[in-house]
């Protein structure tokens, strides 16, 4: 058995491509619900055309599962995301396949979560850890 990559809209890059064949799904229900205009869909599409990824349309979970089955995969690798819809798709996939969520290189390394009440509090914690002194 093997691994496939689910590329979603928060991670249109080559980072995970070495791990297996990749698929991106344009889920029309999601696009319509979010109100993505032609500009937005076209921009995403052009980003995808530079990457070796199969572009599909349809219901996301269904298409990713079909893609995994076509490649005899029992594992899906994806980039972790705070987007509730992406998380929901990941959770649905997990009912059938093993799902590995990869965290991209952080902007700044912090031990623990900073105070996020206001940007100023976050910045007070972060500034000295960035190479801009």
Partner 1 sequence: MAEKVGTRLGPSTLLQPALPRGSGPAAMKREFRDRAELENYLRASFAYLASDPDGLSPIRGGRDSALKALAAVEPGRYERTRNHLDGAVSRLSMYIRHGVLTLPEAMRAALTKVRRPREAYKFVQELAWRDYWQRLYEHLGAGVWEDREESKTGIRAEELNADLPEEVLEGRSGLACMDAFVGELRATGYLHNHARMWFAAWVVHWLRVRWQAGARFYLEHLLDGDPASNNLSWQWVASTFSHKPYYFNRENLERYTSGRFCRNCARRNDCPFEGSYETLAERLFGPETVR
Binding positions for partner 1, rule: CB under 8 A: 9-17, 21, 25-26, 28, 31-32, 34-58, 63, 66, 79-80, 82-84, 87, 100-108, 113-114, 116, 118-119, 122-123, 126, 130-133
| Smallest gap from residue 38 Cβ to partner 1 (A) | 4
* 3-state SS assignment for residue 76: strand
Nearer to partner 1, 1 or 29 (CB): 29
| Smallest gap from residue 6 Cβ to partner 1 (A) | 13
As a whole number of Å, the CA-based R_g of the chain is 17
Nearer to partner 1, 96 or 122 (CB): 122
Nearer to partner 1, 10 or 74 (CB): 10
DSSP codes joined into one string, 8-20: -TT--SSTTGGGS
Residue 127 gets which letter from DSSP? G
| Smallest gap from residue 75 Cβ to partner 1 (A) | 12
Burial 67-77 (b: 16+ CB within 10 A, else e): bbeeeebebbb
d(C-alpha 59, C-alpha 27), whole Å: 5
| Smallest gap from residue 68 Cβ to partner 1 (A) | 13
| Smallest gap from residue 1 Cβ to partner 1 (A) | 19
d(C-alpha 15, C-alpha 1), whole Å: 22
């Amino acid at each position: 058995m093997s691994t496939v990559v689910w590329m979603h809209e928060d991670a249109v890059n080559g980072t995970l491509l070495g791990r297996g064949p990749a698929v991106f799904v344009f889920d029309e229900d999601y696009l319509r619900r979010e109100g993505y205009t032609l500009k937005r869909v076209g921009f995403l599409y052009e980003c995808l055309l530079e990457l070796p990824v199969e572009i599909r349309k349809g219901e996301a979970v269904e298409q990713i599962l079909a893609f995994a089955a076509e490649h005899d995969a029992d594992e899906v690798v994806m980039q972790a995301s705070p987007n509730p819809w992406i998380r929901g798709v990941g959770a649905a996939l997990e009912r059938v396949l093993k799902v590995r969520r990869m965290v991209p290189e952080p902007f700044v390394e912090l031990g623990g979560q900073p105070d996020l009440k206001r940007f100023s509090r976050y910045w007070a914690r972060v500034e000295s850890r960035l190479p801009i002194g």
